[in-house]
Amino acid sequence: MSSYEDLIQLEQQRQNDNIELIASENFCSSRIREACGSILTNKYAEGYSRKRYYGGCQYIDMIETKAIEDACKLFNCKYANVQPHCGSSANQAIYRAFLKPNDNVLSMNLGAGGHLSHGHKMSFSGQDYNIISYGLTDDGILDYEDLENKLFKYGADMVLVGASSYSRIIDYERIGRIIEDYVNSTGAEKPLYMVDMAHVAGLIAAGLHPSPFPWADVVTSTTHKTLRGPRGGLILTNNEEMIKKINRTVFPGIQGGPLEHIIAAKGICFEEAMQSEFRDYINQVIENSKAFATKFIDLGWKVISNGTDNHMFILDTFHSIGLTGQQVEEALDKINITVNKNQIWKDPLPPLKSSGVRIGTAAMTTKGWKEEQFTILAEIIVAYLLGIASNLPVNIENFKNLVKNLNVKGE
């Protein structure tokens, strides 16, 4: 059997060779990877800065404090918790801190672009809380009227906004004003307004997507998607009493010792995101995504919402050429293009098949790709998949070479 080192090298080669289009993945800097693999992994540090349950944490305290300060500076807020191990852990902390079992949560339907931790029945969120879902319009745009109508009809203890597969700007202010109108009109207690910005955190950090502040009460995120950091979670707020509840819920509520090597890497990613080069990078990510989606549309394929404002879009392959998302994912993998199957709104197919694929441009933009490479890639994908859908002979090696040559030219 291969050694772990050999297997890591194989994965390194796959990442080098493949065109990476999974919207939730990216390539972090060597500085971040070095922090992830540093001696900080040796240190136990249960608790928070200057309130640890272990000795020898003086430098750990300095690292975590700096990461918190940099997170607050980057996102222009007052308080942060950098200990959540992942985005779902950050989300769970908010549920546990502010809700009771069976409380009403108004959130985006998974088929509309929501996340498992926003209320899916297989997640703690869907099992422990009463989920009321809003969806999309027929044009693939977040249905603000549906959200408003359901808030007034059912009420909510928390309004959760955010998505894992939605390609348009979310109007956080509009939703904030809907909540204000609901409270003023009904006299009901104000629901907690939570935003999960995991996918667009990098865009927000760069000032190229509206910030959820000052409208949201609490904001969660991951650090490894468009923010281009290590795998981990983050919680932000401007409310001092809320951060106290959040901190108690993260530790000792749902986690034990923090991963200080990852926290240091998070801090480095916040630092990197404050540089002007990062804004240039995010701007290119968006321009690449728009060019990529536009090319598919020009070639006659269906893109949900007919375009994109951010780093991703959903390609409806089933209604474009009759191939399921699963078939497309498996077919593209054979020519070293990595995507993931994804449901569309009101999808006629089950999740493991799905009608579409989610496509993102953040990772390949990190490799240096511009609009030209993405436009050519769209042509390669269309030609390849049309051959498969038509049951025509397809020269796999020929397409693999096209992908290889394009990958080399883009770096």
Residue 44 known to be catalytic: yes
25, 33, 44, 375: the active-site residue? 44
Q: Kindly state the tokens that stand for 255.
A: 């986690």
Q: Where does the pLDDT of residue 191 fall: very low under 50, low under 70, confident under 90, or very high at 90 and above?
A: very high
215-236: pLDDT as tens digits = 999 999 999 999 999 999 999 9
Q: Kindly state the tokens that stand for 13.
A: 């080669």
pLDDT for res 121:
86
Residues of the chain with pLDDT > 70, as a percent, come to 99
Q: Where does the pLDDT of residue 117 fall: very low under 50, low under 70, confident under 90, or very high at 90 and above?
A: confident
Q: Where are the domains of the chain?
A: 30-273, 278-410
70, 129, 222, 266: the active-site residue? 222
pLDDT for res 410:
52
225, 266, 295, 302: the active-site residue? 225
CATH (residue range 30-273): 3.40.640.10
| Mean pLDDT of the chain, nearest integer | 96
Residue 396: exposure state from Cβ atoms within 10 A (0-12, 13-18, ≥19) = exposed
Mean pLDDT for the stretch of residues 309-331: 98
pLDDT for res 278:
98
- The model's pTM is 0.96
Residue 25 known to be catalytic: no
65-83: pLDDT as tens digits = 999 999 999 999 999 999 9
52, 150, 231, 295: the active-site residue? 231
Residue 225 known to be catalytic: yes
Alpha helices by DSSP H, 76-200: 87-98, 124-128, 144-154, 172-186
Sign of CA dihedral 10, 380, 28, 313: negative
Q: Where does the pLDDT of residue 399 fall: very low under 50, low under 70, confident under 90, or very high at 90 and above?
A: very high
The structure tokens 């290889």 sit at: 404
CATH topology of domain 278-410: Aspartate Aminotransferase, domain 1 (3.90.1150)
Q: Kindly state the tokens that stand for 380.
A: 């390669």
Given a cut of 80, is residue 409 above it in pLDDT?
A: no
Q: Where does the pLDDT of residue 111 fall: very low under 50, low under 70, confident under 90, or very high at 90 and above?
A: confident
20, 70, 157, 196: the active-site residue? 196
4-44: pLDDT as tens digits = 999 999 999 999 999 999 999 999 999 999 999 999 999 99
51-63: pLDDT as tens digits = 999 999 999 999 9
Residue 231 known to be catalytic: yes
25, 33, 46, 146: the active-site residue? 46
Q: Kindly state the tokens that stand for 211.
A: 């910030």
pLDDT for res 125:
86
Q: Are 194 and 239 in contact (CB under 8 A)?
A: no
